Amino acid sequence: MVNQKLKLRSFVTIAMLSSISFILMLLNFPLPGLFPVFLQVDFSDVPALIATIIMGPVAGILVELFKNILDWIFSGTPTGVPVGHMANFATGILFILPVYYIYKKFPSIKGLSIGLVVGTVVMSLGMSLLNYVAFLPMYTYFLGWGEFNMKEMIVAGILPFNFVKGIMLMVIVILLFRTMKVWIENQRSQYLA
């Protein structure tokens, strides 16, 4: 009975955090004048990270998946192919998983901070590689982008953008964690016992 209650609570929590994440995804914005306009900052990875820290990596991955499916359904894409959503999903996973594993080993604000730095580096380098081999070629094919220098786009746009986004996420997560630490630890002890 206790297991069923916890399972149901997990589903409800994942659904709630996915909804919050989806709403945060809608509140995206560019960093004016610095990066290409298709690169948008949003804070939708924060609820996914909270789900990951509280319930484990599967919960965080599900939040990342559901928010992107919801955004694809409600916002759509110009071609019907969700390349941007796939890229957002990959970005989120590359960010939340390193944070989870480091925080699991060192459950403190220092461990979280180190995890966030590592998550930012992994996300930035991982997305640079994935954009080079998959996402930019997909954008070129499906959206009919003309010829452009992919290496320059990655080095001058995508890599620094993801570092800046990661730093912004770090600040928000640390501020939230400081205010929600007791609640997060209580939830974590129930789910990851």
Percent of the chain at pLDDT exceeding 90: 68
Q: Is 33 a domain residue?
A: no
Distances (CA, A) of 22 to 39, 83, 92, 108: 17, 17, 13, 28
pLDDT, one tens digit per residue, over 57-102 is 999 999 999 999 999 999 887 667 788 899 999 999 999 999 999 9
Whole-number pLDDT of residue 81? 76
Evaluate if residue 156 carries a pLDDT over 90: no
Whole-number pLDDT of residue 193? 66
CA-to-CA distance for 42 and 144, rounded, in angstroms? 26
Whole-number pLDDT of residue 73? 93
Evaluate if residue 23 carries a pLDDT over 90: yes
CATH number of the domain that 83 lies in?
1.10.1760.20
DSSP 131: I
Half-sphere exposure of residue 87: CA atoms within 13 angstroms, side-chain side: 24
Q: Is 34 a domain residue?
A: no
Percent of the chain at pLDDT exceeding 70: 95
Q: Is 185 a domain residue?
A: yes
- Domain assignment of residue 170, given as a range: 2-24+44-191
Evaluate if residue 179 carries a pLDDT over 80: yes
Question: Alpha helix (H) ranges present in the chain?
Answer: 2-26, 45-55, 57-75, 83-105, 109-130, 136-143, 150-153, 159-191
| One-letter amino acid for residue 5 of the chain | K
Look at the chain and report how many structural domains it folds into. Answer: 1
For residue 29, the cross-strand partners are 41
Torsion of CA 75, 60, 13, 45, to 10 degrees: -50
Q: Is 38 a domain residue?
A: no
133: tokens are 């081999």
Q: Is 39 a domain residue?
A: no
Q: Is 36 a domain residue?
A: no
Q: Mean pLDDT throughout 149-153? A: 85
Q: Who's near 185: CB < 8 A, 6+ residues apart?
A: 107
Residue for token digits 């939230």? Answer: 176
Whole-number pLDDT of residue 68? 96
CA-to-CA distance for 68 and 75, rounded, in angstroms? 10
